Structure 1
């Protein structure tokens, strides 16, 4: 499975967000002067650069490569509704993202690994495809053989229940439910989807 393998701390600093689940305390510290030997300020970005910035930020946040992200945008553009919102709904409906949101994994990267190792079942059936798209009403649960895994138990214990309105979670049974596609205002990621739509629409 293709995935980003480059320096994660550098990417987190670039977007000033805890992408990849990195600690905010040190990695995202901002100094009161610009980068470089003489502390020169950053150049003003063009409109294209700002649009590209938002697209790259979304890709890194959700752990998608360029082709995966573009294909997802194409499907969103052909669907009914506002393209940017539909795109984010599809991103949130991915199985790996839902595993992360439910607290079964501490990061999306960890969620992809847990999913690909068949530790997750959907509607009672084992699913090992991180990009699997959930539908409202789908039941996502930890497989019986994985319920005693130290990593998963630790994550579930530290997970605040019912953190997201479009998901339901029963920590005692390790079972969750994808209730509905979330509204854009419910999704916490600070990404300007309009810029992404404008970039791909050129």
Structure 2
């Protein structure tokens, strides 16, 4: 199953606010489709599936990638749900988004893919690169790269930079000081239900 490239607002209407996927607000508060306004009793499986889909679409993952992150989170001591969120938040494309260098995670992924972002002074073009505390995130020293990022900084996706990151707007550089705390995860999701959804597969 490949990454979703269809209408983003359709997904936002179905799953609720996804700050990493789109900044646009849907005109209708109910899900899309012919039966969108009908109230249905959802099964436990449907509730868990929906929470899993929130993670998938917000962070721009396919099913195989998300399952791999769940398996990695299970091998780490501590709360599996929190570790899973920390792994996803430490992806390079998400760090670029949270620093305000791009308005959404898909646009952050494009910035990284096109070689505009550096980690510790070296260009990294892999959006899934797992960043670590202490690493410096910057913009490639080219006029085109700087102009792109400066334009994005005028309309950041999220207003506040999380506590584990710091950003110097004059130098267009940021630093990762630690792992994200749960209250700074922008996505409204119940990560425990995601772990339960994958309990038979992971």
> Normalising to structure 2: TM-score of the pair?
0.89
> Could you say which residue in structure 1 is the equivalent of 2:153?
156
Which residue among 49, 52, 64 is the counterpart of 2:61? 64
For 2:184 and 2:5, the matched residues in 1 are separated by 30
Q: 1:49 to 1:162 in 2, by over 3 A?
A: closer
Question: Structure 1 length as normaliser, TM-score?
Answer: 0.89
1:179 shift after superposition: 1.0
Deviates more, 1:150-159 or 1:104-113: 150-159
The yes-or-no answer on 1:94 pairing with 2:77 is: no
The range that moved more, 76-85 or 10-19, is 10-19
Structure 2 matches for 1:175-190, cutoff 5 A? 175-190=173-188
Structure 1: runs of 5 or more not aligned: none
Partner of 2:77: 80
CA RMSD of aligned residues (A): 2.3
Of structures 1 and 2, the one scoring higher in RCO (CA 8 A, sep 6+) is 2
DSSP 3-state at the match of 1:57: helix
Whose helix proportion is higher, 1 or 2?
Answer: 1
Alignment size in residue pairs: 197
Equivalent residue, structure 1, for 2:44: 47
Whether the 8 Å CA contact 2:9–2:22 is kept in 1: the answer is no
What is the CA–CA distance in structure 2 between the aligned matches of 1:3 and 1:86, rounded to whole Å?
23
- Cα separation, 1, equivalents of 2:91 and 2:175: 13
* 1:127 alignment partner in structure 2: 124
Q: Determine which structure has more spread, i.e. the larger CA radius of gyration.
A: 1
